[in-house]
Amino acid sequence: MCMEFINREQEMRRLDHVARLPEGGLVVIWGRRRMGKTRLLLEWAKKYNGVYYTADESSETMQRKYFAAALEQVLLGFASVTYPDWLTLLQRLAREARQAAWHGPLIIDELPYLAEACPELPSILQKFIDREAKEAKLIIALSGSSQQMMQSTILAADAPLYGRATEMLKLGPISVGYIGKALHLTNPREIIETYSIWGGVPRYWELVANKKDTLIDSIDRLVLDPIGALHDEPNRFLLEEMPPAISLRPILDAIGLGSHRLSDIATRVGHQMTSLGRPLHRLIELDLVKREVPFGVQEQNTKRTLYKIQDPFFRFWFEMVAPRRSYFAQTIPAHRKHWVAEHLHPLVSATWEELCRQVIPLLFQGLFTIASRYWHGQGNEFDIVAASLDASTLLIGEAKWTEKRPTEVWIDKILKELQSKQLEGPLKGYASYMYVLFVPEKPPQLDLPDYMKVIDAAEVIQAFANSHLEALA
C-alpha cells in the first residue's frame, strides 16, 4: 500500500504557480535520493494531465524511444516515428504541443542519466527552452538526484541551463513534525525514537508504514537481517550517485567509529588531511555529513571543526550496524533485537539534541538565531546556545533524553546546575540569560522564573509541524 502523500504542500504550491503561468516556464528540482522527488512530480503531473518521463542508463537511442512513448499519452502518434537525434524530437514536440494546445507539465526526471548518455543534451535543451518551448508556452520540469551532475548541468554559473528556471526547489527531509502522521504514531517519545532511526526520508517511512512492527522489529526486518531492504543501503546509495561515491565510504566509517576531527579522520582512513577537503565537501553536498563549529567561532576555523554524520539513518547504520554486520549475520533475530534495544539510547539522545537546537527559532518565534553547541578544550560544554537577534540575550540549553518522566525535583536540580556553569569566551557579556531544559515529558505544572523554561517532546514536534503550516498561510 502506498503511503499517504504528506508534507509537500509548500513545494506543490510553488509547482502549481508555475503550472498556471500562461507563458509557461521551467522548474528545476533536485535533492538527494529517497526524498520523494518522483512522488511529488507524479502527483503534480496527475493534477494537470502532465507527462512524466524518467531517464535511466539505457542508450541514447533507447532513451529517445522511451521518451517518445511517454509523450504518446497526450500527443497521439508521437511514438510512431524514430527520431535520429534530440533536436528533431524536441522540435516536433513543440509543434504538436502548440497544435494540441497542450502546455504540460513535461517532466524529465533523472536528467543526469540523459546528460551522461548525450553530453550535448543540456545545450540542446537550453536552445529548445529559449525558443521552441517558449513559443509553445510549455511548462517543463527537470529533476535529478545526482547533485554533482545537476550542478554541472543547471545550477552552476557556467552550466548551459543556468538562470533559466522560473522555480528552483531543493527537496530535503520531511520534518519530525510529520512522521507521526505518516506512521500512525501518537506518543511523542515514540515519534522521537522512530525519527532517530529513519530520519526524514520518505522512502524509509514507506518501508515502515502499514506494518504492525515495533521500532525494534522494523529495524531488524529492514536493516539487521542480511536480506533486509536497507541492510546494504549506504553502499547502494553511494553507488547510485553520478559519478559513484562509493570511494567516500571509508570517511563515513571513520566518522561512525568516533573520528570527528579532520586529523583523526585522516589517520583512520590513512590519507593526508589535505586530500580530504574535496571528499568531505561532496559528502556535505549529499547532506550526509555536516561541519560543526562551536558557538561564536567562524566556520573557517578548521582547528575547532568537527565532522558529524548528518542523516539519522546513516548515523545509525555507521555507528551501530557497520561495525557489527558479521555478528548480526550469524546470530538469531532475538539476539539482534536485544542488542539494539540495549544500545539505542545514545543514538536517540544525539538526535534529540539536534532537534532541540533546530527548533529554537521556531519555538521562540524567530527571536533567536539558529542554535549551536559550545565547547572549548577542557572547559564546560553546552548542548544548545543561541543569541537573540538584538544580541541582548543568550539562550543556554540542555537536552536530556531520560528513560522515565523527570520529576520536579530533578528538573530543578538540572536547571540550577546549568545556571551555575561558568561562562567563558563568546558566552560572556550578555545583558540577560535564558536557561532551557528539553526533556521527553515534563510534569503538568512547574513553578519556574521567567528566565527558565522546560520544553518537552510534544512541544518540539508541534513546533516543527506548525512552522510548515505557517509557511503555507
Residues 326 and 433 in one domain: no
In the chain, pLDDT over 70 holds for what percent of residues? 96
Residues 165 and 217 in one domain: no
Does residue 203 lie within any of the structural domains?
Answer: no
Does residue 202 lie within any of the structural domains?
Answer: no
Least Cα distance to 56 among 222, 242, 261 occurs for: 242
Does residue 190 lie within any of the structural domains?
Answer: no
Residues 336 and 373 in one domain: no
Residues 258 and 277 in one domain: yes
* SS3 of residue 164 by DSSP: coil
Which of 279, 310, 343 represents a domain boundary (last residue)? 343
Q: How would residue 6 be classed by pLDDT, with cut points 50, 70 and 90?
A: low
Q: How would residue 7 be classed by pLDDT, with cut points 50, 70 and 90?
A: low
Does residue 23 lie within any of the structural domains?
Answer: yes
Q: Which of 17-31, 142-156, 298-312, 368-382 has the lowest mean pLDDT?
A: 142-156
What one-character-per-residue DSSP string does 309-333 give?
Answer: E-SHHHHHIIIIIGGGHHHHHHS-H
Residues 433 and 352 in one domain: yes
What's the pLDDT score for residue 471? 44
Contact 434, 394 (CB under 8 A): yes
Does residue 301 lie within any of the structural domains?
Answer: yes
Q: Report the predicted TM-score, pTM, of the whole model to 2 decimal places.
A: 0.89
Residues 154 and 29 in one domain: yes
Can you give the CATH number for the domain in which 438 is found? Answer: 3.40.1350
Q: Which domain holds residue 366?
A: 347-472
The C-alpha cell that represents 219 in the structure block: 529495524
CA–CA dist 115, 109 (Å, integer) = 12
Which of 282, 312, 343 represents a domain boundary (last residue)? 343
As beta bridge partners, residue 394 has 387, 433
Residues 339 and 456 in one domain: no
Can you give the CATH number for the domain in which 130 is found? Answer: 3.40.50.300
Average pLDDT over residues 459-469: 86
**pLDDT tens column, 152-188:** 777 777 778 888 888 989 888 999 999 999 999 999 9
Residues 307 and 363 in one domain: no
Residues 109 and 31 in one domain: yes
Q: Which of 7-11, 166-170, 233-237, 437-441 has the lowest mean pLDDT?
A: 7-11
Least Cα distance to 375 among 295, 291, 438 occurs for: 295
**pLDDT tens column, 413-423:** 999 999 999 99
Which of 343, 358, 387 represents a domain boundary (last residue)? 343
What's the pLDDT score for residue 160? 80
Report phi then psi at 151, rounded to 5. -60, -50
Query: How many DSSP H helices and E strands does the chain contain?
Result: 22, 12
Q: Is 48 exposed, middle or buried (0-12, 13-18, 19+ CB in 10 A)?
A: middle
What's the pLDDT score for residue 321? 95
In total, how many domains does the chain have? 3
Residues 410 and 387 in one domain: yes
Answer yes or no: is pLDDT of 2 > 70.
no
